[in-house]
Amino acid sequence: MCQEANFNLGNDVMEAFKKFQETETSLTGKEILQILIKNAEIAQEEQAPMCQDTGFAVVFVELGQDVRIEGGNLEDAINEGVRQGYVEGYLRKSIVGHPLERKNTGDNTPAVIHTKIVPGDKLRIIVAPKGGGSENMSAIKMLRPADGVEGVKKFVVDTVKAAGPNPCPPVVVGVGIGGTFEKAALLAKEALLREIGSKSKYPDIAKLEEELLEEINKTGIGPQGLGGRTTALAVHIEIFAAHIASLPVAVNLNCHAARHKEIVL
Amino acid sequence: MTQIRLTTPLTDEMVEKLRIGQQVLLNGTIYTGRDAAHKRLVELIKQGKELPFDPKGQVIYYVGPTPAKPGKVIGSCGPTTSYRMDPYAPELYAQGLKATIGKGKRSPEVIKALKQYKGVYFAAIGGAAALIAKSIKSAKVIAYEDLGAEAIHELVVEDFPVVVVNDVLGGDLYEEGIEIYAAK
């Protein structure tokens, strides 16, 4: 799964490249989108990583409550899978074991694992390798309820502007609104798993997604930050209930290599 | 757009002529380096010790490639974000380094160093790593093998496509791009 996610860019992203090529006004911007399509084609053909940053293995697990795992520990099994995938697939080992000592673990483990218990007898696993460049440009802010939707919009657009060329635009913008500090961040990450261009199920949030995408694409940052009207391919927002005192907003940026692979067992 | 073909080592005269927005095809030997390798290089400079390669006229590519598959020269190898090397870059330009290749904005200190020491900053296309690998003809690790992907590699490149983002005049292509394309 780690290898497939890194070698094969999803059709949704490819379609988005093509769609934005038509509306991009910068010639350089158009050219860059074409290069990204070509790069993804080469990666798929040669089964080579589309980007050298093959990411932190972020794994979402939905464990049906009727499932019983035997013969070992689920987290160990996931880490063993990541280890084999990255070593045997010639993927880059980008993880240091201690954030301050910074010695590489040599096999890209440990994975970041988010587990949810859900009804049913299935086990759903999503592997989303996350690049460091775009992760570094992500941000979270605890807004005041009085800041409202305008405050949310400003924070999201400001985060994309501050990131500029760094996160490899065109980006996918994952936004989490509500919950607590950590819940907002997780919602933003989950928003990145959605198919590019899919809409929120809440009409008001779907409208906000559309408005933000338009606003972000007016910044002029463009593909690779070299100027243009394609700064983001999509804005995805997930929401959750909030405390009467709080309006947390998290913005998780993803580069154009929006990779994920899913299986259901 | 016209492309300028340059072969390393680069001279002051070659670098002085470059302007933001120009597309350059690089040829010859270049070196790789990112966070951990830069930290070691600058420590050596501070101690007055010799570097693993002579930076005069040279180019450093900010990249940590994926491992080469059997029969391949190198794995995928697109640029990493450059600002993380900003604290170290002026010291290297002062040693005669002529260019760096990465992606993303540079600090005012780096832009000042480019003017002062006659250097340029190029961007390669972030995320086009499988495609970029095709312009790399040979690769060998020359220092810091213990750093894995972060080791310093000596690469021989052929028509490696880059664009001039910051030049000796203090120009900045990222700023200019926003000025032209932002909705007024």
Q: Where in chain A are the domains?
A: 133-258
Task: Report pLDDT for B56.
Answer: 96
Q: Which of A90, A165, A257 sits opposite B174 (nearest CB)?
A: A165
Residue from A38, A224, A253 to probe the interface with B (highest B Cβ count within 10 Å) = A224
| Main-chain phi, psi angles of A150, to 5 degrees | -65, -40
Kindly state whether residue B137 falls inside one of the protein's structural domains: yes
Å between B174 CA and nearest CA of chain A: 5
ipTM of the complex: 0.92
pLDDT in tens, B18-60: 999 999 999 999 999 999 999 999 999 999 999 999 999 999 9
Provide, as residue numbers in chain B, all residues whose Cβ is less than 8 Å from the Cβ of A46.
130
Q: Is the pLDDT of residue A116 over 70?
A: yes
Do the chains contact at A165 and B149, CB–CB below 8 Å? no
Number of H helices, E strands in chain A: 8, 8
Judge whether A32 is closer than 8 Å to chain B, CB to CB. Answer: yes
Kindly state whether residue B89 falls inside one of the protein's structural domains: yes
Q: Is the pLDDT of residue B2 over 80?
A: no
Provide, as residue numbers in chain A, all residues whose Cβ is less than 8 Å from the Cβ of B128.
35-36, 39
Domain boundaries, position B115: 3-166
Do the chains contact at B181 and A26, CB–CB below 8 Å? yes
- Return the active site residues of B: 38
Kindly state whether residue B139 falls inside one of the protein's structural domains: yes
The candidate with the shortest Cα–Cα distance to B148, out of B53, B83, B72, B63, is B63
Å between A171 CA and nearest CA of chain B: 11
Kindly state whether residue B184 falls inside one of the protein's structural domains: no
Judge whether B25 is closer than 8 Å to chain A, CB to CB. Answer: no
Do the chains contact at A54 and B178, CB–CB below 8 Å? no
pLDDT in tens, A182-214: 999 999 999 999 999 899 999 999 999 999 999
Do the chains contact at A166 and B69, CB–CB below 8 Å? no
Judge whether B3 is closer than 8 Å to chain A, CB to CB. Answer: no
Q: What is the mean pLDDT of chain A?
A: 96
Judge whether B105 is closer than 8 Å to chain A, CB to CB. Answer: yes
**Could you give the CA distance from residue A159 to residue A143 in angstroms, rounded to a whole number?**
14
Judge whether A221 is closer than 8 Å to chain B, CB to CB. Answer: yes
pLDDT band at B3 (very low <50, low <70, confident <90, very high): confident
Long-range CB contacts for residues A142-148, cutoff 8 Å, separation at least 24: A142/A181, A142/A246, A142/A247, A142/A248, A143/A247, A143/A248, A143/A249, A144/A247, A145/A242, A145/A244, A145/A245, A145/A246, A145/A247, A147/A247, A148/A247
Do the chains contact at A48 and B176, CB–CB below 8 Å? no
**Could you give the CA distance from residue A133 to residue B175 in angstroms, rounded to a whole number?**
20
Average pLDDT over residues B100-111: 97
Q: Which of A52, A222, A228 sits opposite B63 (nearest CB)?
A: A52
Task: Report pLDDT for B1.
Answer: 58
Å between A265 CA and nearest CA of chain B: 30
β-pair partners for A167: none
User: Between A and B, how many residue pairs show a Cβ–Cβ distance under 8 A?
Assistant: 154
Do the chains contact at B177 and A227, CB–CB below 8 Å? yes
Judge whether B175 is closer than 8 Å to chain A, CB to CB. Answer: no
- State the CATH number of the domain containing residue B154: 3.20.130.10
Residue from B84, B164, B181, B184 to probe the interface with A (highest A Cβ count within 10 Å) = B181
**Could you give the CA distance from residue A66 to residue A162 in angstroms, rounded to a whole number?**
46
Do the chains contact at B182 and A220, CB–CB below 8 Å? yes
- pTM of the predicted protein model: 0.94
- The residue assigned the tokens 């909705």 is B183
Please work out, in degrees rounded to the nearest 5, the angle formed at the alpha carbon of residue A255 by the alpha carbons of B62 and A231.
Answer: 110
pLDDT in tens, A218-234: 999 999 999 999 999 99
What lies within 8 Å, CB to CB, of B131 at 6+ separation is A35, A38, A39, A42, B125
Kindly state whether residue B172 falls inside one of the protein's structural domains: no
Judge whether A88 is closer than 8 Å to chain B, CB to CB. Answer: no
Kindly state whether residue B176 falls inside one of the protein's structural domains: no
Judge whether A43 is closer than 8 Å to chain B, CB to CB. Answer: yes
Task: Report pLDDT for A44.
Answer: 95
Q: In angstroms, how far apart are the furthest CA atoms of chain A?
A: 57
Task: Report pLDDT for B103.
Answer: 97
Judge whether A13 is closer than 8 Å to chain B, CB to CB. Answer: no
CATH numeric code, A133-258: 3.30.1330
**Could you give the CA distance from residue A34 to residue A37 in angstroms, rounded to a whole number?**
5
Question: Looking at the 3D structure of chain B, how many domains does it have?
Answer: 1
Query: Contact A187/A178 with Cβ under 8 angstroms?
Result: yes
The candidate with the shortest Cα–Cα distance to B84, out of B103, B98, B66, is B103
pLDDT in tens, A61-104: 999 999 999 989 999 999 999 999 999 999 999 999 999 999 99
pLDDT band at B116 (very low <50, low <70, confident <90, very high): very high
Do the chains contact at B177 and A94, CB–CB below 8 Å? no
Å between A237 CA and nearest CA of chain B: 24
Kindly state whether residue B78 falls inside one of the protein's structural domains: yes
Kindly state whether residue B130 falls inside one of the protein's structural domains: yes
Judge whether B103 is closer than 8 Å to chain A, CB to CB. Answer: yes
Q: Which of B76, B105, B125 sits opposite A32 (nearest CB)?
A: B125
**Could you give the CA distance from residue B33 to residue A4 in angstroms, rounded to a whole number?**
28
